[in-house]
Amino acid sequence: GNSVTQMEGPVTLSEEAFLTINCTYTATGYPSLFWYVQYPGEGLQLLLKATKADDKGSNKGFEATYRKETTSFHLEKGSVQVSDSAVYFCAPSPPQYTGTASKLTFGTGTRLQVTL
Amino acid sequence: DAGVTQSPTHLIKTRGQQVTLRCSPKSGHDTVSWYQQALGQGPQFIFQYYEEEERQRGNFPDRFSGHQFPNYSSELNVNALLLGDSALYLCASTVVPETEAFFGQGTRLTVV
């Protein structure tokens, strides 16, 4: 099955710093790749996605590029804000043709704390 | 457009009891998946329902069971609760063939 390795947290940054959260995955076939964010006390929200190699997902200033050759999907943001403090999860899904598109494999997540 | 809704939001149960959690998928979605998220961990896939049948199951014991109704809503049942079942239970919905899953806010279950 699929698996995910994310960089250990917590990551503590000052506001306006550059953010990188590394994610590598193992999967069969051609999975879609997702970054989900979980704010304190809440469920998961989709942050961005990429469905094929070399696609770049982006949202709210965050970006990640689907790198099939390195099986990576690193999350980046040029200037973080205090409101970005949350736990970030990278997740590959099985390819659509397996019919189990919504079965996601999550890592342990990376906690980001942004301070003033 | 209502997203995924789960009820209740919080629940406290005693060891050995049974619990039922409920989920209404996002409008237009027909597939519901359940996840267990222990404190400090990522969500773990429990099972998935489509067309009122369990389509796929993760590595969870038979104490965990579910149901999907004709209106696509779903229930998660856990029997003989253990302290280790304390977790946030998340419901996610999708519509075939889309891969994007929408999550509810979760039900926080505490077993004492």
Mean pLDDT throughout A26-33?
A: 84
Encode pLDDT of A73-110 as tens digits.
Answer: 999 999 999 999 999 999 988 766 555 556 788 988 99
Mean pLDDT throughout A14-40?
A: 92
Give the residue with greater pLDDT, A38 vs A30: A38
**A84 phi/psi in degrees, rounded to 5:** -85, -5
CA distance B17 to chain A (A): 25
pLDDT computed for residue B36 by the predictor: 97
pLDDT computed for residue A29 by the predictor: 77
Low-confidence ranges of chain B (pLDDT < 70): 1, 97-99
pLDDT computed for residue A8 by the predictor: 81
CB contact under 8 A, A89 and B42: yes
Which chain A positions have a beta carbon within 8 Å of B94's beta carbon?
Answer: 101-102
Encode pLDDT of B42-51 as tens digits.
Answer: 999 999 998 9
pLDDT computed for residue A50 by the predictor: 92
Encode pLDDT of A32-56 as tens digits.
Answer: 899 999 998 888 999 999 988 999 9
